[in-house]
Amino acid sequence: MLLHLEHGSPWVYGAMVNNLWSLTHDKHGGDYNNGLLQPFVNYNFKDGFYLTSAPILTVDWTADSGNQWTVPIGGGIGKIFHLGKLPVNTQLSAYYNVAAPDNSADWQIRAQVQFMFPK
């Protein structure tokens, strides 16, 4: 994962990249070769509000051409607040798939509630 965070800056951005593949091609364990790229950018406002975009691009390298990639674009809003002393991160975002395999969804909706336990 690559991350850029400048102290005092409202911007946070970076990317996460990974790929998973099978070590065998037999029918029992499966045959797969899948990748993921997740660029992210947040602009943080005062009082815990933020704008975000973190689309999850996926690829199935074993699929037929034209059915390999899922490429969403979009973004959302979030807010960090406290339940007592416990910080909670909430977020709602929507992404439209500009490229996707046949018979897959056109849209992705992401709702998040994250309890944070800082040291």
Q: Which residues, including other chains, have CB under 8 Å from residue 97's CB and lie 6 or more apart?
A: 70, 71, 72, 104, 105, 106, 107, 108
Quick one: pLDDT at residue 119?
A: 83
Quick one: pLDDT at residue 7?
A: 73
Indicate the residue type of 43. Y
pLDDT (tens place) for every residue of the chain, 119 residues total: 666 667 789 999 999 999 999 887 776 767 789 999 999 999 999 999 999 999 999 999 999 999 999 999 999 999 999 999 999 999 999 999 999 999 999 999 999 999 999 88
CA distance 102 to 11: 36
CA distance 76 to 97: 15
Report the greatest alpha carbon distance in the chain: 54
Q: Which residues, including other chains, have CB under 8 Å from residue 106's CB and lie 6 or more apart?
A: 96, 97, 100
Q: What is the pTM of this model?
A: 0.85
